[in-house]
Amino acid sequence: MKSSTTEKLKPRKQPVQERSGVTVDAIYTATIQVLLADDMNKLTTTRVAERAGVSVGTLYQYFPNKEALLYAILLKHFEEMARAYEEIAAHHPPAPLSELAACIADTYVSVKMVNPDATEAMYRVAGAINQVRMSSNVFARIGMAICNILAQASDATFKDPKQVTFTVLSSLAGLSRASFGQLAAGSDALARLQDESRLVAQAYLHAAADKDA
């Protein structure tokens, strides 16, 4: 049974018509802008509504509280990542592990880099949301997709692909978070993120591969 706390984080309704979809997108964009402009503690539904150009009542039609709004933004991001990996799992042909490892790393970075400002804001959101309370389905989708990608390796197998998937994702997540965390200091970490992510994924996956394969 799902906890009442998790239920409270769910949007009140999903946008159906194009106009309502535009409204929700505007709320998402406004939330990110407020997060980047101010400290996390200063984020309020009133400020988000003003920035989005909608009434607070309209915002509450979709999100019952601030935490639900932050939850929705973070979940949307993970769903985009899940879809990206599922697309690769469905269409990538068998290939050497080095190529698949690079693909896993590149996909992770590409999702983060579609909108770097939004990603930076979402890392602030992640600190305020207990991700354990998020839908386990989206994380399962990401994990399953990567396991399926690894199964396409033409020159390697894994005794425990779920553990391998967990470790490579955790490694990429840590590197990404640290890189985005250096933006305020004017670091060029993002310029190196793709190359470094490839190195991490390729080195670990080759080390974790079944030596008897």
Confidence of residue 212 (pLDDT cuts 50, 70, 90): low
- Which residue, chain included where needed, has tokens 């932050």? 70
Give the per-residue pLDDT at 1. Answer: 40
Task: Report the C-alpha gap between 176 and 130 in whole angstroms.
Answer: 19
* Helix (H), strand (E), coil (C) string for 125-191: HHHHCCHHHCCHHHHHHHHHHHHHHHCCECCCCCCCHHHHHHHHHHHHHHHHHHHHHCHHHCCCHHH
- C-beta neighbour count of 194 within 10 angstroms: 17
Give 169 or 73, the one with higher predicted confidence. Answer: 169
pLDDT in tens, 122-140: 887 776 666 555 667 899 9
Average pLDDT, the chain: 85
> What is the Cα–Cα distance from 31 to 18, expressed in whole angstroms?
20
53 torsion bin: left (phi>0), alpha (psi -120 to 50), beta (else): left
- Average pLDDT on 91-117 reads 95
pLDDT digits (tens, 9 = 90+) for 162-202: 999 999 999 999 999 989 887 655 567 788 999 999 999 99
Nearest Cα residue to 41 out of 127, 164, 137: 127
Query: In this predicted structure, what is the pLDDT of residue 4?
Result: 45
Q: What is the band of 48 on the pLDDT scale with cuts at 50, 70, 90? A: very high
CATH 2.60.40.420 assigned to domain 9-64? The reply is: no
Percent of the chain clearing pLDDT 70 (strictly above): 82
Instruction: Please report the sign of the dihedral spanned by the C-alpha atoms of residue 97, residue 99, residue 100, residue 106.
Output: positive
pTM: 0.83
Helix (H, G, I), strand (E, B) or coil at 95: strand
pLDDT over 70 (residue 41): yes
So where are the chain's domains? 9-64, 73-213
